A and B are shown apart, each in its own frame.
Chain A
């Protein structure tokens, strides 16, 4: 902090003598924080280690026995869980801080190797037979339990993605549009149900006060899944698109209320952009109905006009949420 500035503030009578003293001592004793460097290093370490071990196992599958490999992976996982069980702070329905800087990463390593373990078991021994669902279901269950028991939002996100995988949908942020066939009815319906379920869970989490800080994670995944599914429905079921548009409007309205309640700019902007895509689709279909030049001119004007409108909307909403 800038001592000269605070001295000036002090002379103007804006801060007290004690405050100036505190600023001076804090600045003099300021520590250089390596927090983010060390966390990145730990994270990279876990990432490289689990990835490297995976490839190592894959390449040497012929020379090391499968049992040995399985045992080794199980050992890492069990060791990690054991460490976490031993060091964790008592469970509570609220937020529980990790007991030390490594806890989160050890838990991550334990969970990841558990997932590998189950997958390996199925691949090599066909442990679950043809009940493929179980191969994703069991890790999902363990991930959810670990997330709640040890209070780890990263693991919760992994659990939610595996829940979606179990239902047949990829929700990894950059893969959500690429890996899913959003023209299939099953996927759209699954997406709608899952999205609604996740949003509902988010609400329950908050109302019942069960790990209330997990709420945002549920709402966030659910919100994107819902919007994308509704938009996909609109694009796919051509004739009924007005019906889907109404559904979209409903979803957008719900999240509008949610944004106001949470005072969340993030939800507001997300709903605005998804809603805009839907509205544009509906309008453009009408405008380009008989594909002549006039429709194209109108389309351009539509974009300019609505975007200006939305800019004004966002500016107004920004003011509104700020004063809430």
Chain B
């Protein structure tokens, strides 16, 4: 099933474990080196940045090759769809070839995989008019296949969304009752998908798919929430099912969806803390933002700046309290970092984030509303020079 050399994949996992043990000072550098020699992995996997570079260059090569070949078919534009599908298959062939040349997460195989899928799907859609349902099925089949064959995590995520889309689009063809229960069906399906990923992760038989399954579980959790979210259900009903809501009228089972909107993130976080599960905890935290947006969309309880100030105080206060509380590790929790972040450190991601989000004193006049009408340094600097 997997295109890559399985023994090497396994050895990579062993090496990962050795790295981790070495970082936590359990095994020495020499022991790590011994493990590395005992578990060879002959893949061609360059440094991350080189991978990005190779990805871009491969996209250029394939794009211009496809363009170049298309130049000869300029007079036969009616067959352009078939041409793209054909190119997609050729690119897939190139992908298999590069993988057989030991490329693994080298940027080349990533780029070829995405371009093969893109060409095939694009070509099919150009060829004939495909319904949403059929497109969802095509997406699912392709991404699921590529996930299984190349263990790609993003493909797993797409496959997860696609399978829910297939269920949704086939349901809404079945009439009014089916439409009414669609949110519940999707919610249950997503929940089942989540439990499936958990079972597969635990069984240990799918260890090469760990990354993909984790991504899939995040997707399932988010979809589960989206299906039950009041805003999504209400707006989707209005937009897709022509539900005509008079003023002051609510969607059927409105209270239930409000309950979901609030309860699901809380449930995720509670379970996440209870089971020490980072995925549940982080998704739950993220979805708190979704609660705020949903509520604010229908009830303007407070002006936005008051909400920001209150949230700011609450967040800093909560973080402050927790860090103080966890000064000594309690109940197996700590606020100190595990040593798996030196990649982030090297890139100084946080400093980039600060510059990007709080662009200092040079705020140009048009964006600087927070400074009493946008003055600050910006007004002067950008106008003057």
Which residues of A are in contact with B by a Cβ distance under 8 Å?
A: 1-2, 5-6, 9, 12, 14-16, 19, 22-23, 26, 30-39, 41-59, 61, 101-102, 105, 108, 112, 115-116, 118-120, 122-124, 132-133, 135-136, 139-140, 143, 153-159, 161-162, 164-168, 170, 172-175, 179, 186, 216-217, 265-266, 268-269, 272-273, 296-297, 300-301, 303-304, 307-308, 310-311, 314-315, 317-318, 321-322
Contact = CB atoms under 8 A, between A and B. Distances in A.
B137 to A, nearest CB: 34
Please give me the 9 A-B residue pairs with the lowest Cβ-Cβ distance, nearest first.
A165-B362, A132-B380, A52-B308, A49-B312, A119-B376, A54-B370, A168-B385, A45-B315, A45-B316
A33 B337 contact: yes
Contact of B38 (A14, A115, A301): A14
Nearest to B28: A19
Interface in B318-342: 318-320, 322-323, 326, 329, 332-338, 341
B256 interface: no
Contacts of B329: 31
Interface in B61-98: 61, 64-65, 67-68, 71
A47 B357 contact: yes
Contacts of A168: 381-382, 384-385
Interface string B289-315: 000000000000001111111111111
A92 B161 CA distance: 52
A22 to B, nearest CB: 4
Given A26-B24, A45-B315, A311-B61, A5 B17 contact: yes
B333 A32 contact: yes
Nearest to A270: B49
Nearest to A27: B26
B49 A164 contact: no
Given A38-B323, A162-B377, A311 B58 contact: yes
B134 interface: no
Contacts of A159: 360
B369 interface: yes
Interface residues of B, number: 103
Interface stretch (B119-127, B186-194, B346-354): B346-354
B372 A58 contact: yes
A73 B206 CA distance: 56
B31 A14 contact: yes
* Chain A interface mostly: helix
Contact of B68 (A133, A269, A300): A300
A99 B20 CA distance: 27
Nearest to A114: B361
Contacts of A57: 372
Contacts of B47: 265, 318, 321-322
Given A15-B35, A38-B322, A116-B376, A48 B352 contact: no
A290 B384 CA distance: 42
B267 interface: no
Nearest to A168: B385
A282 B255 CA distance: 64
B369 A58 contact: yes
Contacts of A135: 361, 376-377, 380-381
22 contacts: A12-B38, A14-B34, A15-B34, A16-B31, A22-B25, A31-B334, A35-B335, A36-B337, A42-B315, A44-B312, A48-B309, A54-B370, A124-B372, A135-B361, A153-B350, A161-B362, A170-B364, A265-B48, A269-B49, A269-B50, A314-B50, A315-B46
B358 interface: yes
Contact of A119 (B65, B359, B361): B361
B52 interface: yes
Contacts, number: 331
B306 A52 contact: yes
Contacts of B311: 44-45, 48, 52
A29 B345 CA distance: 26
Contacts of B266: none
Contacts of A216: 348
B14 interface: yes
B253 interface: no
A118 B64 CA distance: 52
Nearest to A315: B46
A274 B149 CA distance: 35
Contacts of B46: 265, 314-315, 318
B245 interface: no
B309 A37 contact: no
A263 to B, nearest CB: 10
A44 B307 CA distance: 13
Nearest to A142: B361
Nearest to B378: A165
**Which of A39, A173, A266 has the most chain B CB within a 10 Å cutoff?**
A266
A164 B380 contact: no
Contacts of A5: 14, 17
A161 B372 contact: no
Nearest to A59: B305
Contacts of A311: 54, 57-58, 61, 108
Contacts of B370: 50-51, 54-55, 58, 116
A123 to B, nearest CB: 4
Contact of A44 (B25, B281, B315, B335): B315
B21 A6 contact: yes
A33 B338 contact: yes
Contacts of B49: 265-266, 268-269
Given A41-B318, A50-B358, 7 more contacts: A48-B315, A143-B360, A157-B354, A266-B49, A269-B53, A310-B53, A317-B50
A308 B61 contact: yes
Contacts of A172: 355-356, 359
A123 B373 contact: yes
A15 B64 CA distance: 51
B356 A174 contact: yes
B40 interface: no
Contacts of A15: 27, 31, 34-35
Nearest to A12: B38
Interface in B264-287: 276, 278, 281-282, 285
**Which of A120, A168, A318 has the most chain B CB within a 10 Å cutoff?**
A318
Nearest to B359: A172
Given A14-B31, A170-B362, A304-B61, A34 B322 contact: yes
